Structure 1
Amino acid sequence: MQNMVVSDIFGKTEALEEFTSRFTTPTEIVDPYNGEFMQFQNEQAAYSYFSEQVTLVKYSDYLYERVQNATTAINLIGFSVGASAIWNISDRQHLGRVVSARGYYSSQIRHFLHIQPHFPINLIFPMSEQHFCVDEVMLALKDRDNVTIRQVPYLHGFMNTHSTNYNATGYKNELSSLRNM
């Protein structure tokens, strides 16, 4: 068994490496920049670069390839666009090694509500999002097979120390929960 942590638009960071080091299960980082530390100045710079150079489609395809090449059972853990990439591949074939997934504050799921996941996925939504109504998305997904939903009293990015919405209490609580995956 191993964990694959699928990063947000910031990619591999020291904070994400610290996060993955807290697991007793072997854990690897999947990021959109092939392991390169990008060190973006701010969230807008990261978003612009990701949108222009990578895209969600390419990131999803890259994740799918990584999962297919895995040699052991996998838990997927994704943040923001990483959670969106997990969601996007969840209805594809040949993902039998995926045991479960957890996706945090994926804002792009709202564009892919037709997806029917082939593996159990737990979606954690923030209390609100700037560009859409979280309650509407949760309502659309609440009876979906293989999908469980939870809303937390934090904002998008609460698990990312680089985010202005980072919340130490939320981070600690979720890390404790993830260790039991």
Structure 2
Amino acid sequence: MNIVIVSDVFGITPALIKLKEKLGVTIIIDPYNGKSMDFKSEAEAYSCFIAKIGLDDYISIVLKALASLDGKTTLIGFSIGASAIWRISLTNENNFIKQAFCFYGSQIRNFTQIEPCFKINLLFPKSEPHFDVVELIKKLEAKANVKITQVEYLHGFMNYYSNNFNNTGYQRYVTLLQTITR
């Protein structure tokens, strides 16, 4: 089975590589073609992503990388990576995507009409500055193939480089992912 991480706007970082090793990940898909960007802040990472890539182009990058895989695949996405997974959940050619875990995909709020074609676990933070998380959950919770968890942590809690990194939350969900992806 393949396990694929779809990164956030930071792309590949030393911490993400460590997570890859912990989870036995097959590949990391990132917006910058594997180049380490060494961003100094979330604002810098986000600005670069918006200026150079954007969500639609990132979706194309993700689809191209997934096309090279054989066998059942579990996707794990963070932030914009989670939003990209949500968008590609419209199809599941050859049923190769087994499941997805999407952490704090805030752009999902703009695509609530999507009906996922594979099992997708959405993990939303306790709050978001730009929208009401509880209202979004209400819009999504009755959809087939969707399981939603609202965690007690903030957007970015799984990213060591985020201001909202939370080691307790990180350890908890790494353990959960290790159990589920084995």
Q: What TM-score, normalized to structure 1?
A: 0.97
Mapping of residues 44-55 of structure 1, within 5 Å: 44-55=43-54
The corresponding residue for 2:4 is 4
Amino acid at match of 2:65: R
Amino acid at match of 2:14: E
The corresponding residue for 1:117 is 116
The corresponding residue for 1:66 is 65
The C-alpha deviation readout for 1:61-98, integer Å capped at 9, x for no partner, is: 11112222211211000000000000010003526210
Indicate the SS of the match to 1:162: coil
Structure 2 unmatched runs, 5+? none
> Aligned equivalents of 2:53 and 2:94: distance in 1?
23
The corresponding residue for 2:179 is 180
CA contact (8 A) 2:5 2:25 kept: no
> Aligned equivalents of 1:98 and 1:67: distance in 2?
9
Alignment of 1:77 with 2:71, yes or no, is no
Indicate the SS of the match to 1:159: coil
CA contact (8 A) 1:68 1:94 kept: no
> Aligned equivalents of 2:45 and 2:83: distance in 1?
16
Structure 1 unmatched runs, 5+? none
CA contact (8 A) 1:67 1:95 kept: no
The corresponding residue for 1:20 is 20
> Aligned equivalents of 2:92 and 2:5: distance in 1?
21
Q: What TM-score, normalized to structure 2?
A: 0.96
Q: CA deviation at 1:159?
A: 0.3
Amino acid at match of 2:109: R
Q: Considering only aligned residues, what root-mean-square deviation do their CA atoms show, in Å?
A: 1.0
CA contact (8 A) 2:5 2:76 kept: yes
> Aligned equivalents of 1:140 and 1:27: distance in 2?
33
The corresponding residue for 1:33 is 32
**Count of residues paired in the alignment:** 180
The corresponding residue for 1:129 is 128
* Gap change, CA 1:21 and 1:48, over 3 Å in 2: same
The corresponding residue for 1:157 is 156
The corresponding residue for 1:102 is 101
The C-alpha deviation readout for 1:81-117, integer Å capped at 9, x for no partner, is: 0000000100035262100000000110000001011
> Aligned equivalents of 2:94 and 2:13: distance in 1?
27
Indicate the SS of the match to 1:103: strand
Q: CA deviation at 1:161?
A: 0.4
Larger proportion of helix: 2
**Greater CA drift, 81-90 or 64-73:** 64-73
Amino acid at match of 1:173: R
Give the fraction of aligned pairs with identical amino acids, expressed as a percent: 44
Indicate the SS of the match to 1:180: helix
